[in-house]
Amino acid sequence: MDTAGQFEYVRCNLCGADAPEPFAEGTDRLLKRGERFTLVRCSRCGLVYLNPRPALADLARHYPPEYVAYKKIAAEQVGIMGRGTGRYARLKNRIKQSILERYYGYPAADTRGGLPRWRVRLFLGVFRRMYYRTVPWVAGGRVLDVGCGNAAYLAWLKQLGWQVQGVEIDPGCVRYAREVFGIDVFAGRLRDAGFADESFDCITLWHSLEHCEDPSGILAECRRILKKGGLLVICVPNVGSWEAALFKQRSLLCDLPRHFYDFSGRTLSRLLEKNALSLRHIRYLEDVPIIDWTLNGWLAEKNIPLRLPAGMWRSPLLRPLYALMERLRTANVMICYARR
């Protein structure tokens, strides 16, 4: 059956209303296809979503094998610790290990003990940013990553001592996770995995909730399979960010048509509340490669013969600006921590 171009209209996933107002319109900028898509905002609750959106039967067309999240990562590239053997490399690893122990409760790696607190603090600003995907340690803990892609994140948690489980819709990634990392990944959608009640100490969704057709259903299922007091970590782009406000559908934050939903801190909090999950904290983070992609794409589109060098955004001079964006909750990515 030819399913190309099939669309479906949907109601708001947060409040159930059918009261969309126009938000933005654009094309697939990642795969550079001309087909146009419409983002709407629910006039009742403010949720931004794609409507109409590609029918599920037509979805595979928008996730070709070269899609970035499906990129495979070699086993030896996984992990926080560097592989160097020099003096500096060893010190760097010791600082990282001390951060895991002192700030995330991981067991001590050796009998020397971690570095003194003041030395860890000195390096915290530099290294802690790379720890944003770290989850606090639970002894004997079981973690599930929903939409685990190439499973490199799970491989990393496995190295740290977690019992890991994934769910992923792409068969190539599932095979890779099993063969390269020896990780059990359910091939399909979360609702079909049939995990028992209260199976997990922690569930993570890194840039996957915005791709799901029913985020509210996903959160309800997460609540069911999380242990009491278990941690849910959700990372999504922030549609309330300066970048989304300025560039809207031209930003990778909206990634048409793969992002079915674009959350703000407010709409994500309400979605958690609706599913009886208790929000503890939202961390806002400026994700530099996303700005890079958006700005250079915009310059190309305007036929301006100028490209911003990729390294520019990593300049330490810009760090105070990012810190300000994060403080003002207008950074482009948010990581939400909630407990059952």
Residue ranges that bind Zn ion, judged by CB under 5 A: 12, 14-15, 17, 42, 44-45, 47
Q: Give the burial string for 46-82 (b: 16+ CB within 10 Å, else e).
A: bbbbbbebbeeebbebbeeeeeebbeebeeeebebee
Considering the complex, state which of residue 8 and residue 18 has its C-beta at the smaller distance from Zn ion: 18
Smallest distance, Å, CB 17 to Zn ion? 5
Considering the complex, state which of residue 47 and residue 244 has its C-beta at the smaller distance from Zn ion: 47
Smallest distance, Å, CB 29 to Zn ion? 26
Considering the complex, state which of residue 49 and residue 181 has its C-beta at the smaller distance from Zn ion: 49
Smallest distance, Å, CB 44 to Zn ion? 4
Q: Where is 27: in which H helix or E strand?
A: strand 20-28
Please state, in angstroms and rounded to a whole number, the distance separating the CA atoms of residues 76 and 181. Answer: 10
Considering the complex, state which of residue 45 and residue 202 has its C-beta at the smaller distance from Zn ion: 45
Smallest distance, Å, CB 30 to Zn ion? 27
Supply φ then ψ for residue 326, to 5 degrees: -65, -40
Longest dimension (CA), the chain: 65
Considering the complex, state which of residue 42 and residue 233 has its C-beta at the smaller distance from Zn ion: 42
Smallest distance, Å, CB 232 to Zn ion? 22
Smallest distance, Å, CB 275 to Zn ion? 15
Please name which of 127, 182, 188 lies closest in space to residue 155, comparing C-alpha atoms: 182
Considering the complex, state which of residue 42 and residue 160 has its C-beta at the smaller distance from Zn ion: 42
Report which DSSP code applies to 302. Answer: T
Q: Is 242 left (phi over 0), alpha (psi -120 to 50) or beta?
A: alpha
Strands 142-146 and 333-339: unpaired
Q: Give the burial string for 292-320 (b: 16+ CB within 10 Å, else e).
A: bbbbbbeeeeeeeeeeeeeeebeeeeeee
